[in-house]
Structure 1
Amino acid sequence: MIERPLDLDAVKAFVCVAELGSFTRAAEAMQTTQAAVSLKLKRLEDRLGLRLVERTPRYVELSAKGVTFLEHARELLDAHERALGAFAGVRQRLSIGVSDHVAGPELPALIARMNAQDPELSIDVRIASSGDLLQSFDRRELDAAIVRLHAGRDDGEMLAEESLGWFASPHWQHRANEPLPIATLAEPCGVRVMAGRLLDAASVPWREVFVGGGVPTVAAAVMAGLGVAALAPRMLPFGALDVGEKLGLPEIPRLPVLLHTRVREGRAHDALVTLSAAFRSVVRG
């Protein structure tokens, strides 16, 4: 029978490690050190008499007991936040803009991670082009913006660098002596401009065959066999092929993902730190 109560900070450390798959990312999310997270987890394991995490040099994996305990740990933290929220008064609001080229299929899980970190925080998320989001941020319509590197701006915090490629459907074939058919986002889109300049500099004839209102629509056009698009691999369904080398297309440089924020403290800041750590986990070259 367990007599002493569990340490909530240790439980939170375990949940962070489990959800982010990394002691380093968990430390970033909790604004502490990797050693401190490891110590909290070890104390929790000692308290429970269970091994929750299998540690290897390359990855972190939950044990069978850890998988079982994770659901209970989340319930415990949720109950704790609800108890605090009952006396917290007015909910604090955080408005975030996320670039269409950054907000991939992982976005629902990232938002859920932020909500789990602070269920009483009201989160407002807007998806748009990096240029539009930076304008909204400068007008103070957004508290924070996560965007691609934008020309003339160097005031953001780098979260990660991501590789892009020239992707097409596995069934698509380029017709000889015809301009390269390109699927892009509508203006303004920095990746669209960059892709066009790279092709022009490499003397590759091209033409736009599809302009989408969002990355999912561009990815759909690619998989439908309309042409080629410059996108990050994680934005495309399984099976899309990078045809850049085969067609002799110019290499796309790694593009930074930046966080612009004026939130420096409080619960909203803690939520942004959690979101930043989660983005670093999914955005990789």
Structure 2
Amino acid sequence: MIDRRLDLDSVHAFVLIAELGNFTRAAEATGTTQSAISLKLKRLEDKLGSKLLERTPRYVKLSSSGAAFLEAARELLKAHDQAISVFSEARQRLAIGISDHVAGPELPALIARMNARDPRLLIEIRIGSSSDLLQSFDRRDLDAVVARMHVGRDDGQILSQEKFGWFASPDWHHRAGEPIPIATMPEPCGVKIMASELLDKAGVSWDEVFVGGGVAAVAAAVMAGIGVAALTRRMLPLGAIDVGPQLGLPALPRLPVVLHSRAQGGRRQEAITALSAALKNAVGA
């Protein structure tokens, strides 16, 4: 009789690789090495007698068997967590702040993944400006913050570097001779300060025509044709175009995404490590 009892660590490795689409990110999420993740996957495939992933130098994708197994694998891990939660200590709280310029459209999926990974954690997510969130972190109101690199701080772990551009709706056209209409967020938004300083230094005439309370509002203004905004492409709906080169606007730098965390060991640090890996994958670092 063939023994097909599954090793849960191997199943967990498979689910992470499938969700992150990347062996390196899966290794980071579990605090191990890429070779260890690959070995776990191989053991699982050998146990099942089927190849679960197709791996090339450029991408990782599910095989037909992997796609069929993925939901069952998630359910197996969920059932395991529910079973051991009966004997677990009291529920722990994990408060994380994520900068509005970092929390993209993939945030709901990231939160769901964190909750599914450890239902015993009470996860609190706050969205705000990097400045406000870092002040809350320094007051110890937050356990961790994922923010843009903030002027005057050199602490934290750089997760990725993300490219910014001057984006507009494909239907928007600049009227010759008029200032560039800019949609932005209120100060102390670091991206606004950086963008305005670069425009002034380049001698570009510009006018603030819209101030949104968050990136989603600014992105909506851009797609409504109100003006141009300094954003990353993943923050905008498909179709937005980078008009910087054609308007002669100053190039925007790649801005670091930085993790500040005081969680040391245990489930909270594991959750933050997994979130960091997922964010790296989303940003494309």
TM range (shorter): over 0.9
TM-score of the two chains, using structure 2 as the length reference = 0.98
- 1:216 is aligned to 2:216: yes
Further displaced range: 152-161 or 1-10: 1-10
The DSSP-based 3-state class of the residue aligned with 1:103 is coil
Give, in angstroms, the shift of residue 86 of structure 1.
1.7
RMSD between aligned alpha carbons?
1.0
Tell me which residue corresponds to 1:125.
Answer: 125
Matched, 1:228 2:200: no
How do residues 4-83 of structure 1 correspond to structure 2 at under 5 angstroms?
A: 4-83=4-83
Distance 1:146 1:2 in 2: 47
| 1:104 counterpart SS class | coil
- Which amino acid in structure 2 is aligned with residue 101 of structure 1? H
Given the superposition, is the C-alpha separation of residues 87 and 263 from structure 1 closer, same or farther in structure 2, using an over 3 Å criterion? same
Provide the TM-score with structure 1 as the length reference.
0.98
Q: Paired residue for 1:134?
A: 134
5+ unaligned residues in a row in structure 1: which ranges? none
Letter in 2 for 1:246: Q
Name the CA distance, whole Å, in 1 between partners of 2:124 and 2:19. 22
SS of the aligned residue for 1:57 comes to coil
**Structure 1 stretch 1-10 or stretch 57-66: which is displaced more?**
1-10
Aligned length: 285
Q: What amino acid sits opposite 2:169 in the alignment?
A: S
Task: Specify every segment of 5 or more residues in structure 2 that has no aligned partner in the other structure, as ranges.
Answer: none
- Give 3-state SS (helix, strand or coil) of 1:27's partner: helix
Question: Can you list the C-alpha shifts for 1:79-101, whole angstroms capped at 9, x where unaligned?
Answer: 00001112213111100000000
**Take 1:174 and 1:19, find their aligned partners in 2: how far apart are those partners?**
41
The alpha-carbon deviation at position 116 of structure 1 amounts to 2.0
Partner of 2:109: 109
Whether contact under 8 Å (1:163, 1:284) holds in the other structure is no
Counting aligned pairs with the same residue, the percent is: 67
Is the Cα–Cα contact under 8 Å of residues 185 and 213 in structure 2 kept in the other structure? yes
Report the counterpart of residue 271 of structure 1 in structure 2: 271
Paired position in structure 2 for 1:154: 154
Match of 2:89 in 1: 89
Deviation at 1:284, TM superposition (A): 2.7
